């Protein structure tokens, strides 16, 4: 059975400069069984309700600005999976969670950048599920548990966000060896509680974790972690690191 994954997707520049994160994502893709399809929840599709991409053909959305032209020239066009999107909608609706199909929404960079590093041939169908970020961690855990059965169907479930995400505190001159103590302390608290399975504390991380608000001024980039955790099993750290001093680049596997 495939695991579920939490990926810290980092800056869109990772698509051009993969570094260690890109190498680890490529390794992970090689080691996992080949998925029949991929379902991804990204921090960059925030909605008030649940929505699913249902296009026959996916497109990469360059949903950022101020980057080099070479980044905008990159594309990622895997097949969509409208039938899978309908099946997921039925699963959610049976649980009292209505979802809409969206045939127009492209893949944001939280989805296509890590997928491009993992599966560069763009030949695995992809569905993206939106993030009702105002409903917090508990909903994401519930969604993960509801959709966990898809893993047995060779569908890879991915939450794409960031283990820390405060763009105002980035040090643009810092190398990978530079880590702000507060960012590390928050990351280590999350890992400790993922390891112990303390769901109550994790759901209440904004009150209980050290430096929570500084690490996540808003929590949309951590919420995909709860989706991945809810969908998976035993917790494993696949990769740890920081970019620009404070931007966590961790990758976790569940199951």
| Per-residue pLDDT tens digits for 211-251 | 999 999 999 999 999 999 999 999 999 999 999 999 999 99
CB distance 254 to 234 below 8 Å: yes
Q: How confident is the model at residue 173 (pLDDT cuts 50, 70, 90)?
A: confident
Q: What is the pLDDT of residue 172?
A: 83
pLDDT level of residue 177 (50, 70, 90 thresholds):
confident
- DSSP structure string for 142-204: HHHHHHGGGGGGTEEEEEEE-SS--GGG--TT--TT-B-HHHHHHHHHHHHHHHHT-HHHHHT
Q: What is the spatial distance between Cα 97 and Cα 88, in angstroms, rounded to a whole number?
A: 11
Q: What is the CATH number of the domain that holds 188?
A: 3.40.830.10
Domains in the chain, number: 1
Q: To the nearest whole percent, how much of the chain has pLDDT over 90?
A: 96
How far apart are alpha carbons 106 and 183 in whole angstroms? 32
Domain of 204 in residue numbering reads as: 4-254
pLDDT value of residue 250: 98
**Residue 174 reports pLDDT greater than 90:** no
The angle at the Cα of 225, spanning 134 to 104, to the nearest 5 degrees, equals 60
Average pLDDT value for the chain: 97
pLDDT greater than 90 at residue 29:
yes
pLDDT of the residue at 2: 97
98-110 pLDDT per residue, tens: 999 999 999 999 9
The answer to whether the beta carbons of residues 195 and 252 sit under 8 Å apart is no
Q: Cα–Cα–Cα angle for 220, 86, 156, nearest 5°?
A: 55
Residue 176 predicted with pLDDT over 90: no
Mean pLDDT of 55-64: 97
Query: Alpha helices, DSSP H only, in 11-108?
Result: 19-31, 69-72, 82-94
Instruction: Give, for 106, the enclosing helix (H) or strand (E).
Output: none
């Amino acid at each position: 059975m495939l695991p579920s994954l939490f990926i810290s997707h980092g800056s869109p520049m990772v698509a051009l400069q993969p570094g260690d994160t890109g190498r680890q994502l490529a390794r992970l893709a090689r080691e996992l069984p080949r998925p029949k399809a991929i379902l991804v929840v990204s921090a960059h599709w925030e909605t008030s309700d649940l929505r699913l991409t249902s296009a026959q053909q996916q497109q990469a959305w360059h949903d950022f600005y101020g980057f080099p032209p070479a980044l905008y020239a990159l594309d990622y066009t895997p097949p969509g999976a409208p039938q899978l999107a309908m099946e997921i909608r039925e699963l959610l609706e049976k649980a009292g969670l209505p979802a809409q199909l969206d045939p127009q929404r492209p893949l944001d960079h939280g989805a296509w950048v890590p997928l491009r590093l993992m599966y560069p041939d763009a030949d695995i169908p992809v569905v993206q599920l939106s993030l009702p970020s105002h409903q917090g961690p508990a909903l994401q855990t519930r969604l993960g548990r509801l959709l966990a059965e898809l893993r047995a169907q060779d569908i890879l479930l991915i939450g794409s966000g960031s283990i820390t995400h405060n763009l105002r505190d980035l040090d643009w001159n810092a190398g990978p060896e530079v880590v702000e103590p507060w960012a590390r302390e928050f990351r280590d608290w999350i890992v400790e509680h993922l390891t112990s399975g303390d769901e109550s504390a994790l759901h209440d991380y904004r009150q209980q974790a050290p430096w929570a608000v500084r690490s996540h001024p808003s929590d949309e980039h951590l919420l995909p972690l709860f989706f991945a955790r809810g969908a998976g099993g035993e917790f494993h750290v696949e990769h740890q690191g920081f970019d620009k001093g404070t931007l966590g680049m961790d990758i976790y596997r569940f199951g």
